[in-house]
Structure 1
Amino acid sequence: MSSIVLKTENNIAYITLNRPEVFNSFNREMALLMQQTLDDCANDTNVRAIVITGAGKAFCAGQDLKEVTTPELNPGFRKILEEHYNPIISRIRTIEKPILAAVNGVAAGAGANIALACDIVIAAENAAFIQAFSKIGLVPDSAGTFFLPRLIGFQKASALMMLGDKVSATEALNLGMIYKFYPIAIFEEEIQKIAATLANMPTKAIGLTKKLLNESLSNNLQQQLALESDLQIEASSSNDYQEGVNAFMEKRMPEFKGN
């Protein structure tokens, strides 16, 4: 059975982390396959939105500790970060398509930070987020120290990373860590609704919006204003822009094609 399952339907790619027996923790094989799957989604012109979720009770427990404590299996932390997690985070942020993290259970360590790197994070009501690194004498990785302070503020992020507290879905919503959470009974339905909405949006504009948000993390105001101008000109040359304007003038729903 594959550790990463990809299903594509209605212009949506559903990526499922699929090692439920170890709470979908990553080993080398799974991390490399995740990168390849993200590349496949990026290159598939039929894919206009991506959903990442987990099989079973957990979203992702981060690194498989059995791998790093078994000498013949252990790649070493430099290789784990530079060849496993860092490329996954980079792909999530640079793919010019919206990526939805559907956190169905516990998201811990690198698993939590992979979710937080996505464009939109939703959670089931029983989900939890844990910066588990300090519990075993490690530092946060997978861009956790980059995204979490920006999402919830320096003070809260510092406390969660140092204390390793478990954050419930309710608290994550209140902190601004996630977009929404839903009762378990309707979670799958809500995933499909949001993903369908994203897949029917003007994909070109969504990708350019994502680029603007990425650059805003390091640009000053004048640089950001200049980039907004450049990318607005690019967006206004798209077929989807013309369709959006025509639909508005004709008082009908637009039918975006993603280009």
Structure 2
Amino acid sequence: MPTTDAPVVAAVHGAAAGVGLGLVCAADLVVAAQEAVFTTAYGGIGLTSDAGVSWFLPRLVGLRRAQEMFLTGRRLTAAEALDWGLVTTVVPDDEVDAAAREHAASVAAGPTRAFGAVRRLLRRSGDTDLHTHLADEQDSVVEAGRGSDLLEGARALAERRRPRFTGA
């Protein structure tokens, strides 16, 4: 998931622990049930992290909060996970799948090539300096401008309608 250009939507029912937390961290949009909980779980079984959790988690929630989760075994409620920036939205338990499908459909109807480029830019943003990142952004804008989605987006704006992107 981390290296794919396709945006990833996750739906969380129950507990996201260990590798499950890693999948949540790697997703772009996360819909959680009100009863969902989030924990690293590794310390409880005598292991260190895997699935990229020790890389993703501090970038999402901050170093101190990640340390607290790893070193104390703290379990976050869905509301806390939303407050900490770990999830995108919290919905009633029986609405999780529908909300996740709605997010996925919305992303799929968007300018998918541009979304892929944005995903790459966001992934690299923590590892590059501003000058390099601005150059990468410029390159991605030029590349996105070569596709038909830009023309469709501009037409839709001028015609005051929703764009119908094709991902081309």
Given the alignment, which residue of 124, 127, 138 partners 2:33?
A: 124
> Which residue matches 1:169?
78
Q: Does 1:100 align with 2:9?
A: yes
> Which residue matches 1:68?
none
- How big is each residue's C-alpha offset from its partner over 1:154-211, in whole Å with a ceiling of 9 and x where there is no partner? 1010010111111110110011111111001322221221111111011000000001
TM-score, normalised with respect to structure 2: 0.96
Give 1 or 2: higher strand fraction: 1
> Which residue matches 2:139?
230
Aligned residues: 168
Q: Secondary structure of 2:38's partner?
A: strand
8 Å contact from structure 2 (residues 31, 96) kept in 1: no
Give the partner amino acid of 1:218.
D
5+ residue gaps, structure 1: 1-91
8 Å contact from structure 2 (residues 152, 164) kept in 1: yes
Counterpart CA distance in 2 for 1:226 and 1:254 is 28
Give the partner amino acid of 1:118.
A
Counterpart CA distance in 1 for 2:139 and 2:35 is 43
Q: Secondary structure of 1:121's partner?
A: strand
Give the partner amino acid of 2:45.
I
Q: Does 1:202 align with 2:111?
A: yes
Given the alignment, which residue of 61, 69, 72 partners 1:152?
A: 61
Counterpart CA distance in 1 for 2:23 and 2:6 is 16
Counterpart CA distance in 2 for 1:116 and 1:206 is 18
Given the alignment, which residue of 244, 249, 254 partners 2:158?
A: 249
Q: Which runs of 4+ in 1 moved over 6 A?
A: none
Given the alignment, which residue of 215, 221, 224 partners 2:124?
A: 215
CA RMSD of aligned residues (A): 1.0
Greater length-normalized contact order (CA 8 Å, ≥ 6 residues apart): 2
5+ residue gaps, structure 2: none
> Which residue matches 1:5?
none
